[in-house]
Amino acid sequence: MSWNRVLLFSSILFYVCIQQQFWAGSSINKNKSMVEHLQRYGIVQSKKVTEAMESVDRALFVPDGSSAYEDSPMPIGFNATISAPHMHATCLQLLEKNLQPGMHALDVGSGTGYLTACFALMVGPQGRAVGVEHIPELVAMSLKNVEKSAAAPLLKDGSLALHVGDGREGWPEFAPYDAIHVGAAAPEIPKPLIDQLKPGGRLVIPVGNIYQELKVVDKNEDGSVKVRTETSVRYVPLTSKEAQLRGY
């Protein structure tokens, strides 16, 4: 077998191995059942994350005709995806302590707006949930999705906002943030995101190219940071709009 074939097969095998999926198919047809499954697999562990995920119906955020509650990422156009429910749940759990009422949260690569909506419900009307997405059409779509969801009142009162922008620069207007989530894999952790993290704040970000790891970055009170690896993951790249639109 040629080296090219060996390489191709090993990358497919690698991709399949790290594409964790806790259930498949469309047998789950209710948002509540999806959250129950995530609890059963130990991914959703807290009341607060349960409440947020039960309140934000995933069906409002996936393209029409998709099996909304399947544990799988789904294409949303523009070479982007909505992340799988278990990844949304994992990130919400990792950030829960930094998503308390009144706190500030930033969602970089907000895509469909699903996770920004969950953040908004968790930080509440006294807090701030800011999404930044670089494809204007996806921002327009995410605004429509949120308007149909339980987070609509928070969009109306301005505590939830979705902006067009390069998320690698963060969103300085509402910094510093208690929680920052990045929904696309960066080659390295962008400095502006660390700068915009509050002391005591937490950043959750996939890092890497072909091989990616979900990193948890905690900022100490003295401004230093501690970085640890949570798990292996597979995300679309955090890149320029041009690179994304030509297929990376």
Ligand X SMILES: C[S@@+](CC[C@H](N)C(=O)[O-])C[C@H]1O[C@@H](n2cnc3c(N)ncnc32)[C@H](O)[C@@H]1O
- Cβ(215)–Cβ(227) below 8 Å: yes
Task: Rank residues 159 and 212 by Cβ distance to ligand X and give the closer one.
Answer: 212
How far is Cα 242 from Cα 239, in angstroms, rounded to an integer?
Answer: 8
Task: Rank residues 159 and 244 by Cβ distance to ligand X and give the closer one.
Answer: 244
- What token pair was written down for 164? 């067009």
Task: Rank residues 81 and 159 by Cβ distance to ligand X and give the closer one.
Answer: 81
How far is Cα 62 from Cα 73, in angstroms, rounded to an integer?
Answer: 10
Task: Rank residues 109 and 127 by Cβ distance to ligand X and give the closer one.
Answer: 109
How far is Cα 160 from Cα 138, in angstroms, rounded to an integer?
Answer: 16
Q: What torsion do the CA atoms of 114, 117, 118, 123 make, to the nearest 10 degrees? A: 160
Task: Rank residues 149 and 244 by Cβ distance to ligand X and give the closer one.
Answer: 244
CB 7 to ligand X: min, Å: 25
- What token pair was written down for 35? 């959250």
Q: In angstroms, what CA-CA distances link 176 with 104, 196, 209, 219?
A: 7, 5, 28, 11
Task: Rank residues 77 and 200 by Cβ distance to ligand X and give the closer one.
Answer: 77
Is 83 a residue of the active site?
yes
What's the half-sphere exposure (Cβ side, CA atoms, 13 Å) at 101? 4
DSSP letter string over 7-76? HHHHHHHHHHHH---S--SS---SHHHHHHHHHHTTS--SHHHHHHHHHS-GGGTSPTTS-TTSSS-EEE
CB 61 to ligand X: min, Å: 7
CB 228 to ligand X: min, Å: 21
Amino acid residing at 152: A
Q: What torsion do the CA atoms of 59, 18, 225, 49 make, to the nearest 10 degrees? A: 30
CB 109 to ligand X: min, Å: 2
CB 115 to ligand X: min, Å: 5
Residue 166 CB burial class (10 angstroms; 0-12, 13-18, ≥19): middle
Q: Out of 27, 67, 72, 83, pick the active-site residue.
A: 83
Q: Which residues sit at the interface with ligand X, rule CB under 6 A?
A: 80-83, 108-112, 114-115, 132-135, 138, 166-168, 183-184, 235-236, 238-239, 244
CB 11 to ligand X: min, Å: 19
Catalytic residues: 83
